[in-house]
Amino acid sequence: MNHHAPLSHTIDVTRPSVARMYNYYLGGKDNYPADRRVCERLLEHAPSAQVLAVNNRRFLQRVIRCLAVEEGVRQFLDIGAGLPTQDNVHEIAQRYISDARVVYVDSDPMVLAYGRALLEGDDRTAVIQADLREPEAILDHPRVTDLFDLGKPVAALCVSVLHCIPDDDAPAELIRRTAARLCPGSFLAVSQLVSEDARIRHAVTGLMRDSTVGRWGAVRRSSDVDRFFTGLDILAPGLVDVSAWRTDPRFGPRPRTREWTEYGGVGRVP
């Protein structure tokens, strides 16, 4: 997809989709042979890819609990939401805060179709098709302004999505622009695939750019992701492998990944 391409409203199951690949790794059923083939090829380069997807989902769950329970956030904007799976954002948030409001944002038309079917009749939750490279358009969307009070804190979740954004589209600037539109006391949760091994970065980035529908960005270094948080007040324990972010020792040792990690954390808008 080039920068000015319109959002697609058709579902092409013959070409892989990042959202459906993630669904496959999480044990979901909403994926197709084209998605599964690339997932298996990716596992050849990085055998811990599936563990990493699970780690990332658990991080998202812990972030929502932290922001709902400890920070009292009642509005969650899930940018690059992907396909519905077990324990979706609205289900987690509403478990802790019954009137929590959630808007899911994705450019994949399959996400839109499945999300709207799942959320039919839920007046506290919406799904919109929008491009995460246009944060102003997202925050001005009628469903967002209808559901949210943007004068109160919002948690913007950019979890496992910025590696889909090429460097030319300036992912750090997208986070800055999103933060600029949120009121003080809002939060941004950000994670993305990183590796300090140049061979892994090159191999995975090349495979994904050649294989997937739409755009793909890059596996980056952790120092690149650190810059995404410029100007934000970073919550403890800082920027880390997300499997180590506020983990609960009651649930046993965290799964480890070797070739790469999902790296990030949570920042507060000052």
Residues 46-81: tens digit of each pLDDT: 777 778 888 888 899 999 999 999 999 999 999 988
Q: Which two tokens stand for residue 54?
A: 């699970």
Q: Is residue 1 part of a domain?
A: no
Q: How many domains does the chain have?
A: 1
Identify the pLDDT of residue 45.
Answer: 75
Q: Is residue 192 part of a domain?
A: yes
pLDDT band, very low/low/confident/very high, at 6 (cuts 50, 70, 90): very low
Q: Is residue 3 part of a domain?
A: no
Q: How far apart are CA 187 and CA 70, in angstroms?
A: 12
Summarize the confidence of residues 183-206 as an average pLDDT: 92
Q: Is residue 13 part of a domain?
A: no
Q: H helices then E strands: how many in the chain?
A: 10, 8
Residue span of the structural domain in which 217 resides? 18-229+241-268
Asked whether residue 215 carries a pLDDT value surpassing 80, the answer given is no
Q: What is the 3-state secondary structure (H, E, C) of 58-90?
A: HHHHHHHHHHHHHCCCCEEEEECCCCCCCCCHH
Q: Is residue 22 part of a domain?
A: yes
Asked whether residue 259 carries a pLDDT value surpassing 80, the answer given is no
Contact 34, 18 (CB under 8 A): no
pLDDT band, very low/low/confident/very high, at 1 (cuts 50, 70, 90): very low
Q: Is residue 201 part of a domain?
A: yes
Q: How far apart are CA 44 and CA 39, in angstroms?
A: 9
CATH number for position 254: 3.40.50.150
Q: Is residue 11 part of a domain?
A: no
Identify the pLDDT of residue 70.
Answer: 96
102-154 pLDDT, tens digit per residue, is: 999 988 777 777 777 777 778 899 999 999 899 999 999 999 999 999 999 99
pTM of the model: 0.84
Summarize the confidence of residues 182-195 as an average pLDDT: 96
